[in-house]
Chain A
Amino acid sequence: MKNLNIYIKEKKMKSEIENEMKLEFISKSANEAFARITVAAFASQLDPTIEELADIKTAVSEAVTNCIIHGYDKKQGIVKIFARLKENEILIEISDKGKGIENIDIAKEPLYTTKPNLERSGMGFTIMESFMDEVDVESVVGLGTKVTMRKVIKNKLENEESDDEFEMITKE
């Protein structure tokens, strides 16, 4: 049993990941699915639960939609995504060089939208904030906006009833 524990600890240490990726694409809403699926595929290296993965996809989708609809406002531009995995955390930066946000606090308020005529709900930032652990928005009017989000992926080995599993192995 002792040996097994040591083996598992070593294995866990080895699985601590450090990785980075960058993604750039034209601000077309057809690319939203591409963006969220790509980030989710990258995040899957941290072995997230299905729910954690859904949270990441939704938050990415909201941020990318904001770049396309608000940042570039139907004009063509480039949306950039940078993501980094470190230990059990994913950091995602999503940025545009669009028109920027005048008042970030107001923009973040639930139900606030500058485009109600497009049936926008004004829930984008609220959803990002509740699905991710940390959301930070930097914006300069005329220069663009960058949203930085972090989420801790809870280690499955610690979460699940892993002890039961180990007992089963040792019994064999």
Chain B
Amino acid sequence: MESKFYEEDKLLIFRITDEIDDFSVQKIRRRADYDIERYMPRKVIFDFNRVTFMDSAGIGLIIGRYKFAKMLGSTVELSNLTSSIKKIFEMSGILRLIPITNLEDEKYINKIG
């Protein structure tokens, strides 16, 4: 997973590059919480553009980061969900709490390539 923090916007972007399952999620969680606490962003975006697989471990991962970020006064958004990843998030109902954003629309896309 890669991350990048944009100081001027207080925006933290995580680009997940692993398959998301019970195994990989432990590493992603540690890294995400470390960076969120370190940068104290206003907004956190998880980019799923390079995620080729996700099971229900991804639901727990995002709910957990949502709670952690909220506690620190930050919000969470998701970007580039494939149809199967979206299907899993929809089943859990968390998309009612966590909006989908389109990173391509933002100026950041070129910077995190």
Contacts and interface: CB of A to CB of B under 8 A. Distances in A.
Interface of A: 29-30, 32-33, 36, 51, 54-55, 57-58, 61-62, 65, 68-69, 110-111, 118-121, 123-124, 126-127, 130
Contact of A57 (B23, B53, B56, B83): B53
Contacts of A51: 83-84
Contacts of A111: 92
Contact of B23 (A32, A124, A126): A32
Contacts of B19: 33
A69 B23 CA distance: 11
A115 to B, nearest CB: 10
Given A65-B57, A120-B60, A124-B56, A33 B84 contact: no
A121 B84 contact: no
Given A61-B53, A127-B56, 7 more contacts: A30-B23, A33-B53, A54-B53, A58-B53, A62-B55, A120-B60, A127-B88
Nearest to A28: B23
Interface in B57-111: 57, 59-61, 63-64, 83-84, 88, 91-92
A36 B23 CA distance: 13
Contact of B22 (A32, A123, A127, A130): A32
B71 to A, nearest CB: 15
B55 A58 contact: yes
Contacts of B88: 58, 123, 127
B28 to A, nearest CB: 11
Nearest to B82: A54
Contacts of B53: 33, 36, 54, 57-58, 61
A32 B54 CA distance: 12
B55 A127 contact: yes
Contacts of A68: 22
Nearest to A61: B55
Contacts of A62: 55-56
A60 to B, nearest CB: 9
Contacts of B43: none
B35 interface: no
Given A30-B23, A62-B55, A68-B22, A123 B92 contact: yes
B63 to A, nearest CB: 7
27 contacts: A29-B22, A32-B21, A32-B22, A33-B53, A51-B83, A54-B53, A54-B84, A58-B53, A58-B54, A58-B88, A61-B53, A62-B55, A65-B21, A65-B57, A68-B22, A119-B60, A120-B60, A121-B56, A121-B57, A121-B59, A121-B60, A123-B56, A123-B88, A123-B92, A127-B55, A127-B56, A130-B91
